[in-house]
């Protein structure tokens, strides 16, 4: 799977058992399983969101952009006096 042989797998399992103990391993496994399940559920919910733009939003954006550029070009009509 990840290029790990049987010796490496046993060594990793031994280190995990030494670090967390046999009593914590079921809790860690349960927590990891719940985290993966929640991640998958959130991923599927995120994929179901419709992100296609609607025509109303595009029209509003274009009119806002046009009015902003018009307002900037008006400028003051005062002349300098010497």
DSSP 49: S
Name which residue leads in pLDDT, 44 or 55: 44
Name which residue leads in pLDDT, 29 or 75: 29
Q: Would 22 be classed as within a structural domain?
A: yes
- pLDDT bin (cut points 50, 70, 90) of residue 45 is confident
Q: Would 42 be classed as within a structural domain?
A: yes
Q: Would 53 be classed as within a structural domain?
A: no
Which domain range does residue 9 map to? 1-47
Work out how many domains the chain is built from and give that number: 1
Q: What is the pTM of this model?
A: 0.41
User: What is the chain's percent helix, strand, coil content, to nearest 5?
Assistant: 75, 0, 25
Residue 81 pLDDT greater than 70, yes or no: no
Instruction: Please tell me the predicted confidence (pLDDT) of residue 35.
Output: 95
Q: Would 37 be classed as within a structural domain?
A: yes
Q: Would 40 be classed as within a structural domain?
A: yes
Instruction: Please tell me the predicted confidence (pLDDT) of residue 82.
Output: 57
């Amino acid at each position: 799977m990840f290029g790990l042989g049987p010796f490496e797998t046993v060594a990793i399992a031994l280190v995990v058992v030494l670090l967390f103990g046999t009593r914590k391993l079921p809790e860690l496994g349960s927590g990891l399983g719940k985290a993966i399940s929640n991640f998958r559920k959130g991923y599927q919910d995120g994929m179901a969101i419709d992100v296609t733009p609607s025509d109303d939003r595009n029209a509003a954006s274009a009119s806002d952009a046009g009015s902003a550029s018009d307002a900037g070009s008006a400028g003051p009509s005062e002349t300098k006096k010497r």
